[in-house]
Amino acid sequence: MPQDIKLYNTKSKSVDNFIPIIEKEVGIYSCGPTVYHYAHIGNLRSYVFADILRRTFVYAGYKVNHIINITDVGHMVGDGDDGQDKLEKGAAREGKNVWEVAKMYTDAFMKDIEALNIPTSAYTFPRATDHIREQIGLISALEIEGYAYRISDGIYFDTSKYKKYADFAHLDIEGLRSGARVEENTEKRNITDFALWKLSPADEERQMEWDSPWGKGFPGWHIECSAMSMKYLGETFDIHTGGIDHIPVHHTNEIAQSECATGKTYANYWMHVNFLNDTTGKMSKSNDDFLTLDVLKEKGYSPLAYRYYLLTTHYKSEISFSFDGLDGSIHAYNKLTTWCSSNISSAGKINNEYKNKFEEVIFNDLNTPQAIALIWILLKDEAISDDDKYSTIISFDEILGLNLKNSVKEELVISEEIKVLLEARALARTNSNYQESDRLRDEILSLGYIVKDGKEGQEISVSR
């Protein structure tokens, strides 16, 4: 029986035993992509992390309701809800309308995560623009309770009315005030106040705008996540995730507005994934110069090898991305898939000792690097049969998601040419013509397949 799942909670600043609201069920909300550009490989790290979290709960027998939202409006270029809407920025860059841009990059995102073995069918992906009514409802509730006020460009949340505002991220409000930029919106009552609803500029028609009790406009980015998470998971739900950049602003604001609107705790556990940075610093969509999964693919790196690479670092540690580092992981990943494809078996049993060790590290705040290290220890363990090793590794892969079983199956579709060579080799062996059989083995190897002679005749696997 699996032990407790322990997770690091940003809210308590400690690794806590996970206690679900409903027994054996978990609701998870992961902040999703702003679809004005391709996801970069840093963004994708946050979804691989979310997928490991989901798979861990599925493995432990939980019913999982996992939401990843699509931000397709209201995420402004400037930190203080100022500047351009990122979707409009994307539309200007592409020469398309915002709806087309949102669709194009949502589709690209789905393709990327599928390639990383994050199954889209296991998630719900609500779009912000499909939830305007819910967002208006939430803002109205805040207005009635006296948390919202109007200034010339929109309806803002008064952060001074939420006494715990600074707690979650240990904010130094005084420091923020003194460090404020000159162009900061001077109508705001407090430096940390944020837009709930932005009004469309009087002199310009926005491509995305809706009627509201306050006038034509569009929702603020933070309210989107509060409205969608509570709609799909309830006013209090289990786990909220995102990148560490979201702690001081986006998540702090989500907590403030949600708890003020409902009077209840918003999310019980908050998990944050550290950044993947390139050598020049933070990888970011806004500077246009970033690595995508497609670029990795063009360079010959498979998305699953990238997933393996990510899993070799704990989610709470930063990754400083380099191709040299990636190459090291690729080598190990190829060795692992080669071993798996050469040792396919349905005869083995999951080894309990290793299963327990695996659960111990994974259930201890998702320690994937230790789980991967354990695979290599297992492979070297001479006391365990290859059949058992195979079954045990495939069971670990339910959480790691490296598709070790299926990628093998896929690649074992062999061409007619190989089949002819295999038949010729079988004939050579029946005639004890070992020289010819060895020559054919080398020829097959040169075409990318390894032939071994087992009890049932020739066994073929992919060479890498």
Q: How far apart are the first and last CA of the chain?
A: 37
283 touching ligand AMP, by CB under 6 A: yes
170 Rama sector, left if φ>0, alpha if ψ -120 to 50, beta otherwise: left
- The pair phi, psi for residue 254, each rounded to 5°, is -60, -45
**List 89, 131, 198, 246, residue binding ligand AMP (CB under 6 A):** 246
31 touching ligand AMP, by CB under 6 A: yes
275 touching ligand AMP, by CB under 6 A: yes
Structure tokens belonging to residue 274: 């550290």
Of 58-66, 141-149, 174-182, 278-286, the segment contacting ligand AMP by CB under 6 A is 278-286
**List 26, 31, 208, 402, residue binding Zn ion (CB under 5 A):** 31
How buried is residue 166: exposed, middle or buried, by Cβ count under 10 Å (0-12/13-18/19+)? middle
CB 372 within 8 A of CB 397: no
Which CB atom, from 310 or from 404, has the smaller least distance to ligand AMP?
Answer: 310
CA gyration radius for the chain?
A: 26
* Euclidean distance between CA atoms 81 and 74, whole angstroms: 9
CA distances from 178 to 100, 168, 195 (A): 41, 21, 21
Structure tokens belonging to residue 309: 């690479």
225 touching Zn ion, by CB under 5 A: yes
Q: Which residues pair with 450 in a beta bridge?
A: 461
Which CB atom, from 216 or from 282, has the smaller least distance to ligand AMP?
Answer: 282
Structure tokens belonging to residue 131: 């939830």
Which CB atom, from 266 or from 309, has the smaller least distance to Zn ion?
Answer: 266
- Quote the least distance from Cβ 71 to ligand AMP, whole Å: 6
* Euclidean distance between CA atoms 102 and 92, whole angstroms: 12
Structure tokens belonging to residue 333: 């990943």
116 touching Zn ion, by CB under 5 A: no
313 touching ligand AMP, by CB under 6 A: no
245 touching ligand AMP, by CB under 6 A: yes
CB 196 within 8 A of CB 257: yes
Of 5-13, 19-27, 273-281, 341-349, the segment contacting ligand AMP by CB under 6 A is 273-281
* Euclidean distance between CA atoms 100 and 284, whole angstroms: 22
Of 42-50, 167-175, 362-370, 429-437, the segment contacting ligand AMP by CB under 6 A is 42-50
**List 7, 38, 45, 64, residue binding ligand AMP (CB under 6 A):** 45
Pair type for strands 281-282 and 319-320: unpaired
Of 100-108, 242-250, 375-383, 454-462, the segment contacting ligand AMP by CB under 6 A is 242-250
34 touching ligand AMP, by CB under 6 A: yes
113 touching Zn ion, by CB under 5 A: no
> Residue 284 carries which DSSP code?
-
Of 132-140, 148-156, 274-282, 342-350, the segment contacting ligand AMP by CB under 6 A is 274-282
The one-letter amino acid code at 78 reads: G
340 touching Zn ion, by CB under 5 A: no
- Quote the least distance from Cβ 242 to Zn ion, whole Å: 6
Of 127-135, 178-186, 282-290, 443-451, the segment contacting ligand AMP by CB under 6 A is 282-290
**List 46, 65, 135, 392, residue binding ligand AMP (CB under 6 A):** 46
Structure tokens belonging to residue 25: 């069920």
Residues that bind Zn ion (CB under 5 A): 31, 225
Residues that bind ligand AMP (CB under 6 A): 31, 33-34, 42-43, 45-46, 71, 242-243, 245-246, 273, 275-277, 282-283, 285
